[in-house]
Amino acid sequence: MNYNLIRYGVKDAGIFENRALVAKVFEALDETKPQSVRYLVLELEDGEFVHLVGYDKDSSALTELDAFKAFGADHASRRSTPLARSAAKIIGNYHMLAEADEVVPV
């Protein structure tokens, strides 16, 4: 599985909307139950959001959801900082992610 970590800050006025749109993405994932995608979103106390996306071949099972398209449609206007995306490797995992056997040896 491939992983990407995405971070961005959200303007105070956009935090509620960002939370609501993220919640709709999770509702859509709960309905469609794609097996090829793992998704985790954290909100930090400074208004920064962190997304961890895991996917097999591509992330289209997530990105093609109508709820995800709605989330991304006006995303730039809600952000207070640029979006930063990095490929990531799981080095340790304790009951957080489903693929615990994918830990990279150090």
- Report the pLDDT averaged over residues 4-23: 96
Q: Give the count of beta carbons closer than 10 Å to the beta carbon of residue 21.
A: 19
For residue 14, pLDDT over 70 is answered with: yes
Q: Are 39 and 54 in contact, with CB atoms under 8 Å apart?
A: yes
Structure tokens of 63? Answer: 């990105």
Give the pLDDT confidence of 23-49 residue by residue, as tens digits. Answer: 999 999 999 999 999 999 999 999 999
Q: What is the pLDDT of residue 105?
A: 44
Q: What is the pLDDT of residue 101?
A: 45
Q: What is the pLDDT of residue 97?
A: 72
* pTM assigned to the model: 0.86
Q: What is the pLDDT of residue 99?
A: 58
Helix axes 66-73, 15-32, angle to 10 degrees: 160
Q: In a 10 Å sphere around its CB, with 0-12 CB exposed, 13-18 middle and 19+ buried, how is residue 20 labelled?
A: exposed
φ, ψ of residue 76 in degrees (nearest 5): -60, -35
Give the pLDDT confidence of 47-101 residue by residue, as tens digits. Answer: 999 999 999 988 899 999 999 999 999 999 999 999 999 999 989 888 777 654 4
Give the pLDDT confidence of 91-104 residue by residue, as tens digits. Answer: 988 877 765 444 44
**What is the four-CA torsion angle of 95, 99, 100, 103, rounded to 10 degrees?**
-130
